[in-house]
């Protein structure tokens, strides 16, 4: 696998350790009036705010940092306090604290939709099902456009409670569902088979995904085709997506990215493919970020069909910058392009074979293969390709 300017990228995030040197430098803006106004505002708040005794200098520091990043009006850029930064990094390892539910956006709703609860998770035990809508978190309402903010409030420490306003998939009134957070372990690679066809579902792209995917491919060597299920996969580590693509593609481009000056910051290509048999990839509105890198590489290189629905459309890269105090910043720093030079940001990737799911379906994947019309179509395509 060849690559230029390699960097570990997390949830399409580049982690860099140069922040301490760069961000510790104090720049003189020359805008003394602005600095004076900020000091005056903080002084006024300290003297007059009703609960000023509860406010610390650290609160003002955090507020300034959050406000600076929020001023970008970018849903993917964010400031993390030390605790938030720790939880965010932990969430990329496949183990984190939360309720264990995969969520996404669907075309016919502005609400956050449950893609699937993780088996045995607090969400599943609380009766939350695929297709349910999350209307509110602890009384605060969120739309699908505010999904990342909702996720921040859904996650939390083990043993703590969160109340979700849930609208069941068949409609009706919104009911509060209390869920106790717990430690969640996500298996990023799920394997199985349908007759002579191998099935590999990727729930997210994390540290062990490439290793586990390689094992799954090796175990499927006698199968006549592969169904790669990326539905509901929100993304993860860029290099994991590149590694998976590399095993499925011939010598070809995988993905590239450019910064705000139009300079290429990375360009990944594949070596000879390890899996030479037919491949079909399943995608939906919950397939985002790193998932779209794999789907785009398969589609543009004409390696196989994409079946399902248009993907989410997250085609920007965030750099994760650790700060000296243990906090961090997640900042959008580049935009990525598929092998055909296409930006999919806020557009998504269209499937080569569009297939909708039945409205009354209980779930997707192997467990629901007799109802899952997208999976059934994938089997049909593989069967025909082997004739």
* DSSP symbols for 156-190: --TT-EEEEEEE-TT----EEEEEE-EEEE--SEE
Please tell me whether residues 194 and 137 are part of one structural domain.
Answer: no
Residue with tokens 């191998």: 198
Which residue of the set 223, 277, 299, 314 is catalytic? Answer: 314
Task: Give pTM, 2 decimals.
Answer: 0.75
In a domain, 309, yes or no: yes
Please tell me whether residues 159 and 271 are part of one structural domain.
Answer: no
In a domain, 332, yes or no: yes
In a domain, 84, yes or no: no
289 among known catalytic residues:
yes
In a domain, 268, yes or no: yes
Q: What is the pLDDT of residues 274-303, one digit of tens each?
A: 899 999 999 998 899 999 999 999 999 999
Q: What is the pLDDT of residues 12-49, one digit of tens each?
A: 555 455 444 444 444 444 567 778 888 888 888 888 88
Please tell me whether residues 234 and 122 are part of one structural domain.
Answer: no
Please tell me whether residues 203 and 317 are part of one structural domain.
Answer: yes
In a domain, 166, yes or no: yes
Give the dihedral of Cα atoms 310, 311, 312, 317; nearest 10 deg: -140
Query: What's the CATH code of the domain at 218?
Result: 3.90.226.10
* Alpha-carbon separation of residue 373 from 57, 107, 310, 348, 378 (angstroms): 57, 17, 15, 21, 9
User: Which pLDDT value is given to residue 9?
Assistant: 38
Please tell me whether residues 371 and 228 are part of one structural domain.
Answer: yes
Please tell me whether residues 136 and 152 are part of one structural domain.
Answer: yes
End position of a domain, from candidates 130, 163, 183: 183
Contact 89, 237 (CB under 8 A): no
Q: What is the pLDDT of residues 119-178, one digit of tens each?
A: 678 998 999 987 899 999 999 999 987 887 898 899 888 999 999 999 998 788 999 999
End position of a domain, from candidates 160, 183, 206: 183
Count of structural domains, the chain: 2
Average pLDDT for 46-67? 88
Residue 385, C-beta contacts closer than 8 angstroms, at least 6 positions apart: 225, 278
- How many CB atoms lie under 10 A from the CB of residue 258? 17
Average pLDDT for 183-187? 80
121 among known catalytic residues:
no
Angstrom distance (rounded) from CA 50 to CA 14: 42
Please tell me whether residues 366 and 279 are part of one structural domain.
Answer: yes
End position of a domain, from candidates 183, 205, 231: 183
In a domain, 293, yes or no: yes
Identify the CA nearest to 104 among candidates 291, 375, 355. Answer: 291
Please tell me whether residues 152 and 285 are part of one structural domain.
Answer: no
User: Which pLDDT value is given to residue 386?
Assistant: 66
Query: What's the CATH code of the domain at 140?
Result: 2.30.42.10
pLDDT band, residue 94 (cuts 50/70/90): low
Ranges 37-41, 59-63, 106-110, 280-284, most confident: 280-284
Of 105-109, 229-233, 309-313, 378-382, the one with minimum mean pLDDT is 105-109
Contact 305, 381 (CB under 8 A): yes
Expressed as residue numbers, the domain containing 250 is 189-386
Please tell me whether residues 194 and 162 are part of one structural domain.
Answer: no
In a domain, 29, yes or no: no
Residue 215, C-beta contacts closer than 8 angstroms, at least 6 positions apart: none
User: Which pLDDT value is given to residue 225?
Assistant: 98
In a domain, 231, yes or no: yes
> Residue 48 corresponds to which tokens in the numbers above?
């007059």
Please tell me whether residues 317 and 362 are part of one structural domain.
Answer: yes
Please tell me whether residues 206 and 139 are part of one structural domain.
Answer: no
Which residue of the set 289, 291, 311, 334 is catalytic? Answer: 289
Please tell me whether residues 140 and 193 are part of one structural domain.
Answer: no
Whether the per-residue pLDDT at 54 is higher than 80: the answer is: yes
Which residue of the set 132, 253, 300, 305 is catalytic? Answer: 300
Angstrom distance (rounded) from CA 239 to CA 234: 15
Identify the CA nearest to 80 among candidates 329, 319, 317. Answer: 329
């Amino acid at each position: 696998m060849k690559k230029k300017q390699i960097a570990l990228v997390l949830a399409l995030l580049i982690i860099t350790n140069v922040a301490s040197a760069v961000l510790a430098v104090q720049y003189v803006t020359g805008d003394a009036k602005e600095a004076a106004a900020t000091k005056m505002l903080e002084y006024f708040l300290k003297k007059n705010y009703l609960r000023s005794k509860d406010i610390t200098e650290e609160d003002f520091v955090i507020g300034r940092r959050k406000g600076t990043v929020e001023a970008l009006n970018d849903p993917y850029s964010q400031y993390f306090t030390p605790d938030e930064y720790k939880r965010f990094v932990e969430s990329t390892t496949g183990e984190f604290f939360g309720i264990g539910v995969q969520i996404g956006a669907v075309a016919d709703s502005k609400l956050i939709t449950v893609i699937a609860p993780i088996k045995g998770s607090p969400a599943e035990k609380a009766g939350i099902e695929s297709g349910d809508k999350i209307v509110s978190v602890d009384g605060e309402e969120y739309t699908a456009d505010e999904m990342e903010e909702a996720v921040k409030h859904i996650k939390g420490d083990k043993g703590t409670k969160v109340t979700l306003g849930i609208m069941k998939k068949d409609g009706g009134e919104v009911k509060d569902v209390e869920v106790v957070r717990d430690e969640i372990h996500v298996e990023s690679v799920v394997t199985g088979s349908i007759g002579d066809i191998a099935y590999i579902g990727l729930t997210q792209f994390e540290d062990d995904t490439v290793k586990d995917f390689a094992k799954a491919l090796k175990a499927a060597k006698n199968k006549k085709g592969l169904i790669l299920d990326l539905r509901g996969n929100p993304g993860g580590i860029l290099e994991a997506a590149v590694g998976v693509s590399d095993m499925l593609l011939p010598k070809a481009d995988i993905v590239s990215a450019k910064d705000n000056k139009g300079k290429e910051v990375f360009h990944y290509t594949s070596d000879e493919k390890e899996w030479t048999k037919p491949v079909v990839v399943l995608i939906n509105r919950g397939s985002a970020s790193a998932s779209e890198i794999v789907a785009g590489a398969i589609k543009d290189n004409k390696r196989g069909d994409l079946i399902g629905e248009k993907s989410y459309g997250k085609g920007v890269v965030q750099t994760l910058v650790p700060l000296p105090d243990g906090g961090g910043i997640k900042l959008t720093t580049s935009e990525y392009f598929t092998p055909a030079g296409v930006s999919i940001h806020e557009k998504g990737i269209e499937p080569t074979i569009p297939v909708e799911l039945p409205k009354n379906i209980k779930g997707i994947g192997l467990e629901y293969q007799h109802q899952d019309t997208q999976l059934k179509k994938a089997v049909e395509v593989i069967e025909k390709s082997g004739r």
